[in-house]
């Protein structure tokens, strides 16, 4: 496009006439990978930094140069300004792109870059400082005649807050002036609620942002969250690049974003654009930014919320619809500092189609969205994904990635673009359904449930919508893991002795197969092998099971009553049931739990069986642990007709075994003496 008029957009790797040699990316994860892609397109070398827990991350692999920040806290790594600038200097980086989060809106960091003759790819320190404090941003908006929700100045104490709230009228939102990402925000419907949360919001603000300033703002019950993407050249020229609807939020954190905003009259749309453009121009805004608004559907009025002086997480939907690259714009504008040859912003962009983004998180929706860390043993995204196509996936994970517990749990952004909103939503749902992230829990099924909601499909969304949406997760939670409980299948992993992999699979293949047969499962359906003492499992869905193999004293806890579970019999599980497989009480040591449809688990060397010594197959190559979550494959089979197994088919399990002994290589004198061998065979 015209903004990049000296870059041949049809030829990757073409370098601008004036461009940085190296750019350091002061971030991690998906945004770092996304920036690397653009830098390589522009002909720049990408320099990345990483915490030791991120050393195998994709952004480290894809970069031209990578430098460790050590293994300390976030404050000593990704937030350590001096350390990052020292790395930029020693690597020869001409510029730093902060991405989003971390130091992206830190005016001190911007000033330190300037003092070190490094171009900060973002707004000026003054603009970040002005808009970074929400109460000051309200003042600037008011000076530019931008509509504002009724609100207060900074509050001195609780008495001041109660007085201001009575003037504004409940409900009100108590907000941290330095907050971001939904942190430091509480809805208060009464004076009692305000008194209860006032001190905690101030404390949260001080701990997270080193600023305990708070203020009040009128809360609109059925509000939509609409934001306008702007870009300025720092000399008074600002362009508005469409709007995004970010109303689908959980705990004030965006979950789904889309552009253009649905159910918005064109006059309102244009007024939003003009207002955002006017606010940016009033401060000679530089680089990418976002003006956020609260929109009242009933009155069709919008009000200034805040200004984000950085690239947004959801910038990708704007890029897809407008056919632009905002990161390239930021780099190109920064490169103008080297030559004074500023790009021209005097042009109009036209949208094409509709784009929706879903944020994929490593979190457990069934456990109040608790973040999940650990091994992703299998990562598969839909085939044929292109950054510039109809389906775009910005991610930093691959099979074998260890997701650390230190950082934001976002794994990827899945962006679907189509001619219509309906088609884009369907494509997004299909893409999520075809994505496979195995090993830890993610919110993928929760996202699909949101997309399938009738209000969401019709565009009838508001910021509190997800708080009222009921959702059930079809899952099996491991409360206690037992002695050694592993995922196995038949025929198991066979035929790999020549590469040093011994056979895997259930010890008692007959009992295992019989259980699957009773359930109508396929012969290779995966189940659980239980050694001596079995696990305790909680079922989040109704299903059917069969216990087979060595008999245990298995019970189901249901509505405070305890029910015995028979073996070799199809047993109906109800949602909420807790199964205690119990302890082997008779002959044998191995029991089996087979489930309708079989366990959902990726194949490794053509089998789902766990090989614990090799640490592969099964559930992340190990025995189950408390806190693990299992899922079953969907099934369309009718309910099995034969509930109980015929007696003549039951296996004979006892404690007497006839062992075949072969001499083997260890009879050589290097290992055993002749007397040893005589003793062995005599025994």
Rounded average pLDDT per 10-residue block, the chain, 683 residues = 46 56 96 96 96 96 97 94 97 96 94 96 94 85 89 91 94 85 84 94 85 89 94 94 96 93 96 96 96 92 93 96 95 87 84 97 93 95 71 95 94 96 95 95 96 96 90 92 97 93 95 95 95 97 96 94 95 96 93 97 96 95 96 79 83 86 74 85 87
Residue 63 structure tokens = 């970069």
What is the spatial distance between Cα 50 and Cα 70, in angstroms, rounded to a whole number?
Answer: 8
Tell me phi and psi for residue 512, to 5 degrees: -60, -50
Q: Write down the pLDDT at residue 18.
A: 67
Check: CB of residue 528 under 8 Å from CB of residue 648: no
Q: Write down the pLDDT at residue 114.
A: 95
Q: How far apart are the first and last CA of the chain?
A: 85
Instruction: Name the residue among 230, 463, 233 with its Cα closest to residue 340.
Output: 233
Phi-psi region of 169 (alpha: psi -120 to 50; beta: other; left: phi over 0): left
Q: How many CA atoms lie within 13 A of 454 on its CB side?
A: 0
Residue 467 carries which DSSP code? G
Q: How many CA atoms lie within 13 A of 218 on its CB side?
A: 17
- Cβ partners under 8 Å of residue 293, min gap 6: 225, 226, 227, 228, 272, 275, 302, 303, 304, 305
Residue 185 structure tokens = 């925000």
Q: Write down the pLDDT at residue 347.
A: 84
Helical packing angle, 29-42 and 326-339, nearest 10°: 60
DSSP string, 87-101: HHHHHT-SEEE--SS
pTM of the predicted structure, to 2 decimals: 0.87
Question: Residue 348's CB: how many other CB atoms inside 10 A?
Answer: 5
Q: Write down the pLDDT at residue 16.
A: 47
Q: How many CA atoms lie within 13 A of 253 on its CB side?
A: 13
Q: Are strands 119-120 and 95-97 parallel, antiparallel or unpaired?
A: parallel
Q: Write down the pLDDT at residue 181.
A: 62
Q: Write down the pLDDT at residue 7.
A: 43
Q: Write down the pLDDT at residue 11.
A: 41
Question: Residue 572's CB: how many other CB atoms inside 10 A?
Answer: 13
498 burial type by CB count under 10 A (0-12 exposed, 13-18 middle, 19+ buried): exposed
Q: Write down the pLDDT at residue 562.
A: 95
> Cα–Cα distances in Å, from 212 out to 134, 185, 446?
12, 12, 34
Q: Write down the pLDDT at residue 385.
A: 64
- Cβ partners under 8 Å of residue 223, min gap 6: 247, 294, 295, 296, 462, 463, 464
């Amino acid at each position: 496009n015209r903004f990049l008029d000296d870059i041949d957009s049809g030829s990757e790797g073409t370098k601008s006439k004036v461009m940085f040699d190296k750019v350091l990316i002061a971030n991690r994860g998906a945004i770092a990978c996304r920036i690397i892609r653009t830098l390589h397109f522009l002909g720049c070398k990408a320099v990345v930094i990483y915490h030791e827990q991120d050393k195998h991350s994709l952004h480290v692999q894809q970069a031209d140069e990578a430098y460790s920040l050590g293994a300390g806290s976030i404050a000593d790594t990704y937030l350590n300004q001096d350390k990052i600038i020292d790395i930029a200097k020693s690597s020869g980086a001409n510029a730093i792109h902060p991405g989003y989060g971390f130091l992206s809106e830190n005016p001190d960091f911007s000033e330190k870059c300037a003092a070190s003759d490094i171009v900060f790819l973002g707004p000026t320190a003054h603009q970040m400082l002005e808009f970074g404090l929400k109460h000051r941003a309200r003042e600037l908006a008011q000076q530019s005649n931008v509509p504002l929700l009724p609100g207060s100045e900074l509050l001195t104490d609780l008495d001041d807050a109660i007085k201001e709230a009575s003037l504004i009228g409940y409900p009100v939102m108590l907000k941290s002036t330095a907050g971001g990402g939904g942190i430091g925000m509480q809805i208060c419907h009464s004076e009692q609620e305000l008194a209860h949360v006032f001190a905690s919001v101030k404390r949260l603000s001080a701990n997270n942002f080193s600023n305990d300033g708070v203020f009040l703002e009128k809360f609109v019950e059925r509000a939509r969250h609409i934001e306008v993407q702007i870009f300025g050249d720092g000399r008074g020229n600002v362009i508005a690049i469409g709007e995004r609807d970010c109303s689908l939020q959980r705990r004030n954190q965006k979950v789904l974003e889309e552009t253009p905003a649905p159910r918005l009259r064109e006059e309102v749309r244009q007024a939003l654009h003009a207002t955002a453009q006017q606010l940016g121009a009033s401060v000679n805004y530089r680089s990418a930014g976002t003006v956020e608004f609260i929109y009242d559907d009933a009155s069709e009025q919008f009000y200034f919320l805040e200004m984000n002086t950085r690239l947004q997480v959801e910038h990708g939907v704007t890029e897809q619809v407008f056919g632009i690259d905002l990161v390239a714009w930021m780099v190109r504008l920064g490169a103008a500092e080297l030559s004074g040859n500023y790009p021209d912003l005097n042009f109009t962009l036209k949208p094409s189609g509709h784009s929706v983004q879903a944020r994929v998180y490593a979190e457990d929706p069934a456990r109040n969205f608790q973040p999940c860390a650990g091994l992703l043993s299998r990562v598969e995204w839909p085939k044929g994904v292109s950054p510039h196509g109809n389906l775009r996936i910005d991610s930093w994970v691959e099979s074998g990635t260890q997701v650390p517990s230190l950082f934001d749990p976002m794994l990827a952004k899945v962006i679907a673009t189509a001619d219509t909103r309906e088609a884009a939503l369907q494509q997004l749902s299909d893409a999520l359904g075809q994505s496979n992230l195995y090993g830890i829990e993610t919110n993928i099924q929760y996202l699909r449930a949101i997309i399938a909601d009738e209000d969401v499909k019709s565009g009838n969304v508001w910021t509190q919508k997800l708080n009222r949406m009921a959702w059930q997760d079809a899952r099996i939670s491991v409360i206690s893991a037992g002695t050694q409980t592993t995922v196995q299948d038949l025929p198991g992993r066979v035929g790999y002795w020549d590469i040093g992999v011994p056979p895997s699979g259930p010890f008692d293949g007959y009992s295992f197969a019989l259980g699957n047969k009773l359930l109508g499962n396929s012969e290779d359906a995966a189940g659980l092998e239980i050694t001596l003492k079995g696990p305790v499992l909680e079922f989040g869905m109704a299903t059917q099971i069969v216990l087979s193999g060595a008999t245990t004293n298995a019970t189901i806890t249901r509505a405070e009553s305890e029910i015995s579970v028979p073996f070799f019999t199809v047993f109906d599980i109800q949602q909420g049931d807790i199964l205690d497989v119990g302890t082997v009480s008779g002959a044998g040591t191995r029991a089996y739990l087979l489930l309708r449809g079989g366990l959902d688990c990726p194949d490794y060397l053509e089998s789902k069986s766990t090989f614990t010594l090799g640490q592969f197959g099964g559930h992340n190559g190990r025995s189950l642990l408390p806190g693990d979550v299992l899922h079953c494959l969907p099934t369309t089979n009718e309910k099995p007709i034969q509930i109980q197994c015929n007696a003549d088919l039951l296996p004979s399990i006892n404690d007497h075994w006839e062992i075949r002994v072969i001499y083997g290589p260890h009879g050589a004198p290097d290992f055993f003496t002749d007397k040893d061998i005589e003793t062995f065979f005599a025994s």
